[in-house]
Each structure stands twice: as C-alpha cells, then as structure tokens.
C-alpha cells in the first residue's frame, strides 16, 4: 500500500469535490485547487442534476451506471445533510430503454395521482421510482466542506497553469499562486482537461457539449417527480424554485440560449396548472465535458506516472461511484477491474 503521497486534485466541480472527499476519507495528504473563489462555479453550477443511470449504455460501462444509485445511498449514510430528492422520474414520448427493469409503466390515472398539476396527460408513461435529483451547488460545497473536515487542504482562487514533470513523472503544478509539489495529480477540470494535457504531448478527446438550464421562481410546488417528455424536462429544485433543461441549438436570435430558454419557460407556463405564476429567473449555458465516445475517461495515464484523469458526462450521476473506485486506485496503486473500460488508451487503440 502506498502511503503519504501528496495528491493534488484540480477542479472543484462535483467530480473534483467527490474525488477530494473520497481521498480525504482515507487520511490522504490531498489538496484541492480551484480557479474560482468557491466550488461548483462552472458546469456543475448549470447542471440539471438528475441522478439518471437509465439511458442506453454500452455493456462494458453498464455496471458503473447500475451502481450509481446505491453509491449515493451509501454517501447519504456518511453525509446525512446531502438532501437528495428521491422522487423518481416520469418520462413519456422520449426515447427510453424499454428493457429497463427499473421503470414501471403507468396508466393515465396513476400519472394524474403523481403529477396533479399537469394540464394534459398521456395515456401511458414510464416511472423510474429509484431515480433522484439534487442541488448540485449545495452538494458540491458540502463534499468540499466534509473533505476539509477530514483534513484536505482547499485552495480557491488558484488557477493551475501547467503540470510539471521530471522525466515521465509528475512532480507538481505551476499555479497562479506559485508551485505546488505533488506525487499524484488528479485532473477534474472538465472541458479544460485537453488544454492542460496538450503540453505533455497527448490528446484527451473531450469536447464541450452545451446545455441550457432555466431557473424559475414558483409560488408553490408544481412538479412532484422529475418530468421528462417531448415538450419539457423539468423538476422542482425547492418548493419555490423550478428548473428546466433544454438542448443547446445555436447562437442565432431565434435558436440561441435566450430564445430557447424563454420558449421553455412559456411551455411550462402553459402546461402546468399555476404555471402563469412562474417567474423567469435565469437562463444559463453549461459546457458539459463530452468524451468522444460519450463515456467516462478515468485512470492513470499509461506513460506519465502520477497523472490521473477523471472526466465524464453525467457527472452528477457518476461522480460518487467513480470517485470511490478511483480513490482506491490512487491510494493502493491498484487497477480496479470495474474501471477497465474507462481508460484513455482505448482511443489510441481505435485510431491505430
């Protein structure tokens, strides 16, 4: 077992916060570095934050998605303040994995009982009662706080400019506040990962995938589950805040984020009883890090000793399960077989 390594985690979104928490739980010498003055400022801040493992997933990644909900329940035992809303997800008229054993078909009357404030109801919908949603900002800040209580060193307003290597081993990072020594560097910077790795001579095939988050003030609780259908995707964040998620189209006047966000707001005003009382609060674009094949890239780099990559779409769903497995790899210098399908090297194999 490896002891007393200096571990630096770069990026305090939900992935970096989770990594820092799981490492700190095992008494590691871990430092979290974040460019902004607080956690969850970038894409996590603009996340719809649906714990949603139920899409179509390739077989060699399925086990990780399947384990994500149980991992959150374990985390809740450790951190009771997490406040995850396990209200389930109700979907219709959207592509669904119908072999999904976790989803039960509901008839119209059952849908009305779950969601009494809709103006129109489908004849049938699917209900995933195990799924949940969380407040991504509060959750990330709570993970950072717990990590700090466990002894982690948290440095905000500290931008990592460069990863420093000697030979083929990392020795630290140059930051806006000087050099910080480290034996292991965990990169959890989302779409900024390729830029940090390029000077080291390799590509990380990750591109920004924009999505739009719309926040509304609501006078009362209008939605009880998480509702996803062909017209809208929405949930209550709190009794007085409603969130909706939309796909990014382009930057034009009619299809730019502002226009898409306003349309989503109007759709909810028209489709919910009490919707006319909703007030539009903000429309934000989040740049989700999307690996080229859509699946997480997690693990030590095969040529640069001590460099550990963690980048994933569905970060809210996957952060805890990946962080626990990754912390084990880093601390015990082992290869977890559960993460075999997630290595960066799969992309160079595909290109050869």
Six token digits for residue 320: 């805890």
Distance, in Å, from the CA atom of 174 to the CA atom of 160, rounded to the nearest integer, reads 6
Helix, coil or strand: residue 258:
helix
Task: pLDDT tens for the chain, 352 residues: list them.
Answer: 455 799 999 999 999 999 999 999 998 999 999 999 999 999 999 999 999 998 888 999 999 999 999 999 999 999 999 999 999 999 999 876 645 667 899 999 999 999 999 999 999 999 999 999 999 999 999 999 999 999 999 999 999 999 999 999 999 999 999 999 999 999 999 999 999 999 999 999 999 999 999 999 999 999 999 999 999 999 999 999 999 999 998 888 889 999 999 999 999 999 999 999 999 999 999 999 999 999 999 999 999 999 999 999 999 999 999 999 999 999 999 999 999 999 999 998 765 5
pLDDT computed for residue 249 by the predictor: 87
Helix, coil or strand: residue 114:
helix
Q: How far is CA 40 from CA 12, 191, 209, in A?
A: 6, 14, 18
Angle CA(54)–CA(347)–CA(208) in degrees, nearest 5? 60
Regarding pTM above 0.85, the answer is yes
Distance, in Å, from the CA atom of 244 to the CA atom of 51, rounded to the nearest integer, reads 15
Q: Give the CA count within 13 Å in the CB-facing half-sphere of 303.
A: 9
Distance, in Å, from the CA atom of 207 to the CA atom of 289, rounded to the nearest integer, reads 6
Asked if 223 and 275 touch (Cβ cutoff 8 Å), the reply is: no
Six token digits for residue 289: 């890090």
Q: How many helices (H) and strands (E) are present in the chain, helices listed first? A: 9, 19
In the numeric block, the tokens 């996340």 are attached to 47
Asked if 347 and 52 touch (Cβ cutoff 8 Å), the reply is: no
Domains assigned to the chain: 6-66+136-205+292-351 (3.50.50.60), 89-129+208-290 (3.30.9.10)
């Amino acid at each position: 077992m490896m002891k007393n390594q200096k571990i630096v985690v770069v990026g305090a979104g939900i992935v970096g916060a989770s990594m820092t928490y799981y490492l700190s739980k095992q008494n590691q010498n871990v430092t979290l570095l974040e460019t902004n003055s607080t956690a969850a400022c970038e894409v996590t801040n603009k996340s719809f934050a649906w714990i949603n493992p139920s899409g179509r997933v390739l077989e060699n990644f399925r086990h990780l998605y399947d384990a994500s909900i149980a991992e959150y329940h374990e985390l809740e035992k450790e951190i009771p303040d997490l406040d995850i809303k396990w209200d389930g997800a109700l979907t219709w008229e959207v592509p669904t994995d119908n072999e999904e054993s976790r989803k039960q078909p509901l008839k119209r009357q059952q849908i009305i009982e779950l969601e009494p404030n809709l103006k129109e109801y489908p004849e049938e919908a699917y209900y995933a009662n195990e799924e949940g949603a969380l407040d991504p900002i509060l959750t990330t800040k709570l993970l950072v706080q717990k990590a700090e209580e466990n002894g982690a060193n948290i440095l905000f307003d500290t931008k990592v400019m460069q990863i420093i290597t000697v030979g083929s081993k990392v020795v630290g990072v140059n930051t806006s506040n000087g050099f910080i020594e480290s034996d292991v560097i965990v990169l959890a910077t989302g779409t900024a990962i390729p830029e940090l790795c390029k000077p080291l001579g390799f590509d990380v095939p990750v591109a920004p995938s924009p999505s739009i988050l719309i926040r509304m003030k609501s006078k009362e609780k209008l939605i009880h589950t998480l509702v996803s259908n062909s017209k809208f995707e929405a949930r209550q964040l709190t009794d007085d805040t409603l969130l909706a998620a939309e796909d990014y189209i382009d930057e034009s006047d009619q299809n730019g984020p502002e226009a898409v966000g306003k349309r989503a707001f109007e759709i909810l005003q028209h489709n919910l009883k009490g919707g006319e009382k909703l007030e539009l609060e903000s429309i934000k674009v989040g740049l989700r890090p999307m690996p080229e094949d859509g699946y997480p890239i997690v693990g030590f780099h095969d040529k640069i000793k001590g460099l550990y990559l963690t980048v994933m779409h569905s970060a809210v769903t996957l952060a805890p399960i990946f962080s626990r497995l990754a912390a084990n790899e880093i601390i015990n210098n082992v290869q977890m077989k559960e993460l075999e399908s997630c290595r960066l090297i799969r992309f160079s194999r595909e290109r050869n």
